[in-house]
Amino acid sequence: MLSERSELSPARWMWSLWFAMELISEKGHPFAEELEKIQCSLQDVGSALATPRSSAREAHLRRTTFESGRVLELEQWIDKYSGQLPPLTAFILPSGGKSSAALHFCRAVCRRAERRVAPLVRMGETDANVAKFLNRLSDYLFTLARYAAMKEGKQEKIYKKSDPSD
């Protein structure tokens, strides 16, 4: 029980995201402003998750509604970057330098969070926009990881099947 509760708590994954995003922001990338907006939105994700719809007061629920505008905004950002990227032709490792690797890491954390939020949405306890936001956020982070590697001139490492005869 203890462990299940703590897994569902936003704390751990959210703190990992905040921390990794702060590491990247320091580099002065043009997308730092987007990451700051996302850091605020994650705070709202936390509030929404901490406010189960079946038991919270009406006024509190209104305050923690998660607007769909933020999902649309992420989609626009994804389109903006993905148009500039070379196509994926091989399986890449979460590499491409420090910023890119941090973004790949954030994406993995975000995907896990999405899987944990999904049942809460199905049970009607959490706004579906929260899950949609996390879903688009994973895509955004993956796209941005590749974009950051490209902008910093870093190589994306390709997965190579180890050859035992090597």
Number of residues that bind a copy of itself (CB under 8 A): 47
Q: Which of 128, 102, 120 is nearest to 8 (CA)?
A: 120
Segment 22 to 41, residues that bind a copy of itself, using CB under 8 A: 22-23, 25-26, 36-37, 39-41
**Rounded distance between C-alpha atoms, residue 22 and residue 36, angstroms:** 8
Q: Which of 26, 154, 147, 39 is nearest to 95 (CA)?
A: 154
- Under rule CB under 8 A, residue 159 binds a copy of itself: yes
Segment 36 to 65, residues that bind a copy of itself, using CB under 8 A: 36-37, 39-41, 43-44
- Under rule CB under 8 A, residue 164 binds a copy of itself: yes
Take residue 91 and report the two structure tokens written for it: 């399986």
User: Where does this chain touch a copy of itself (CB under 8 A) — which range of 17-25, 51-59, 80-88, 136-144?
Assistant: 17-25
The answer for residues whose C-beta is within 8 angstroms of residue 137's C-beta and 6 or more apart is 38, 74, 110
**Rounded distance between C-alpha atoms, residue 163 and residue 8, angstroms:** 41
Q: How far is the CB of 124 from a copy of itself (least distance, A)?
A: 18
Rg (CA), the chain: 18
Where helices occur in 9-157 by DSSP H, the ranges are 11-25, 32-49, 58-63, 69-82, 97-122, 128-151
Segment 72 to 111, residues that bind a copy of itself, using CB under 8 A: 91, 93-95, 97-98, 101-102, 104-105, 108-109, 111
- Under rule CB under 8 A, residue 11 binds a copy of itself: yes
Binding site residues, a copy of itself, CB under 8 A: 2-4, 6-7, 11-12, 15-16, 18-19, 22-23, 25-26, 36-37, 39-41, 43-44, 67, 69-70, 91, 93-95, 97-98, 101-102, 104-105, 108-109, 111-112, 116, 157, 159-162, 164, 166
